[in-house]
Amino acid sequence: MDDTPNTLPTSLPALRVAAREAGFTMSCEERTGSLLAVLAAARPGGRILELGTGVGEGTAWLLSGMDGASRLVTVELDPGVQALARRRLGSDPRVTFVAADGGEWLEKYDGEPFDLVFADTWPGKFTHLERALDLVAPGGTYLIDDLLPQPGWPEAHEASVRRLLADLEGRHDFRSVRLAWASGLAMAVRGASEGTAPHDAARAGDRPEG
């Protein structure tokens, strides 16, 4: 089965040209993008957070799946890189661009939680993980990528990936799955009720009384 996406955001070709001209090589892989679009489409009227705008390829995928009532906040440390995304996507009223350090933004944010959090940079993934997970609403999804070996990984980064996955899978308030696909993904969903995983609640409800 060919898993190459056959429907692309209309802004993607221009964003790819901008990335090449800027020498930016860290945009999300297009299969990851197609998953982002599906996850966004699954949340009508949803609140979405992207950590790491880059030149906006992931942003474009998210917007392509969002309905008119959904809202996206995307945070990027490098304002020059984010300006490329703003130039092509900034007219869309559903997206708010924030130029800031992702870790500092996570620490200061005091608004509503998000239905989907996509961490495509170190803050919210290898740092500030707990804070990013705190911002996932009940029933919401947390997605991270680039977990398979990548060019330019720092020394001993593989150990950091292993620790990250162990942290995610050790949590009782999230149900997670590894996806050895695209650039290497992990997805975690917060349980709908505090302290009770959905599958445990279903089992309890299926038990006969008496």
pTM for this prediction: 0.89
Residue 139 has pLDDT above 70, yes or no: yes
Q: Alpha-carbon distance 88 to 72, whole Å?
A: 15
Other beta carbons less than 10 A from residue 38's beta carbon: 11
Q: Give the per-residue pLDDT at 2.
A: 93
pLDDT digits (tens, 9 = 90+) for 161-209: 999 999 999 999 999 999 999 999 999 999 987 544 434 444 334 444 4
Which 3 state secondary structure label does DSSP give 133? helix
- The one-letter code for the residue type at 69 is A
Of 73, 83, 102, whose CA–CA distance to 24 is shortest?
Answer: 83
Phi, psi torsion values for 52, nearest 5 degrees: 105, 80
What mean pLDDT comes out for the span 152-162?
Answer: 88
Q: Give the per-residue pLDDT at 26.
A: 84
Of 122, 120, 142, 121, whose CA–CA distance to 133 is shortest?
Answer: 142
Buried b (16+ CB within 10 A) or exposed e, 127-161: ebbeebbebbbeebbbbbbbbeeeeeeeeeeeeeb
pLDDT digits (tens, 9 = 90+) for 3-20: 999 999 999 999 999 999
Domains of the chain, by residue range, sit at 29-206
Domain 29-206, CATH number (from 3.40.50.150, 3.40.50.1580, 3.30.470.10, 3.40.50.300): 3.40.50.150
Q: How many distinct helices (H) and strands (E) make up the chain?
A: 8, 7
Among the listed ranges 13-17, 119-123, 144-148, 197-201, which one has the minimum average pLDDT value?
A: 197-201
What mean pLDDT comes out for the span 111-130?
Answer: 97
Percent of the chain at pLDDT > 70 equals: 92
